[in-house]
Amino acid sequence: MKIQERTGAGGNRSATSAHPATGERLPTPPRERKPALAALAVLLILVGALGATMLVLRAGDRVEVVKVTGDIQAGESVGDHVISALVADDASIHYVPWSQLTQLRKLKAKSTIYRGTVVIGEMFTSGSTLPAGKASVGVSLKDGQYPAGIKSGDTVAVYRVGDTGTGGSRGTTGSSNSANSGASNADGSPIVERAKVSYVQEQKDSTISSTNLPVTLIVDSGQAASVADAASAGQVALVIVPGN
pLDDT in tens, 81-108: 999 999 988 888 999 999 999 999 999 8
Q: Does domain 62-125 have CATH number 1.10.10.10?
A: no
The helix-helix angle for 168-177 and 224-232 (nearest 10°) equals 170
More confident residue, 207 or 34: 34
Contact 111, 74 (CB under 8 A): yes
Quote the CA–CA distance of 244 and 233 in Å, as a whole number: 28
Give the range among 161-165, 167-171, 229-233 with minimum mean pLDDT.
167-171
Quote the CA–CA distance of 164 and 162 in Å, as a whole number: 6
Residue 68 above 90 pLDDT? yes
Q: What is the pLDDT of residue 111?
A: 79
Please, what's the b/e burial string for 22-59 (b: 16 or more CB within 10 A of its CB; e: otherwise)? Answer: eeeeeeeeeeeeeeeeeeeeeeeeeeeeeeeeeeeeee
Summary mean pLDDT of the chain: 76
Confidence of residue 36 (pLDDT cuts 50, 70, 90): confident
- What residues does CATH 3.90.1210.10 cover in the chain? 62-125
User: What's the pLDDT tens digit per position in 207-244?
Assistant: 444 578 989 899 999 999 999 999 999 999 999 998 76
Residue 159 above 50 pLDDT? yes
pTM as predicted = 0.49
Over residues 146-168, the mean pLDDT reads 79
Quote the CA–CA distance of 224 and 217 in Å, as a whole number: 9
Residue 189 above 90 pLDDT? no
Confidence of residue 183 (pLDDT cuts 50, 70, 90): very low
Q: What is the DSSP letter of 72?
A: B
